[in-house]
Amino acid sequence: MRRNEESAGMCGCYLLIFIFNLILGGWSVNYLLLWLADKTIPFFWATVVGLFVAEFSVPVAFVVAILRWFGVL
C-alpha cells in the first residue's frame, strides 16, 4: 500500500505540536509555579501537566516574563 504524501505531512505536524507541548508546556508550568508559589516540580511532571495545559500556560508565562523584564511585576 502506498503512503499518502498528505498524511505524512500531518504526522510531522502532530509530532511538532506534541514536542511543543512537552518542552514549552513544561517550562511554562514550572515558570508559573515559581512565580506564583516560589516552588517548582520535576521537569518530567511539568511536561506531563504541560501536555494538557500548554495552550493556556505558555501565553500566560510569556506575558508574565515580558512584564517582569520591564519591571511591571
What is the rounded CA–CA span in Å between residue 67 and residue 65? 5
Sequential DSSP letters for the chain: -PPPHHHHHHHHHHHHHHHHHHHHHHHHHHHHHHHHHS----HHHHHHHHHHHHHHHHHHHHHHHHHHHTT--
Express each pLDDT in 30-60 by its tens digit: 999 999 999 999 999 999 998 899 889 999 9
Q: What pTM was computed for the model?
A: 0.77
Q: Does 68 score more than 70 pLDDT?
A: yes
Q: Does 20 score more than 70 pLDDT?
A: yes
Express each pLDDT in 25-34 by its tens digit: 999 999 999 9
When the pLDDT of each residue in the chain is averaged and rounded to a whole number, the result is 87
Residues with Cβ within 8 Å of residue 47, at least 6 apart in sequence: 22, 23, 25, 26
Which residue ranges make up each domain of the chain?
5-69
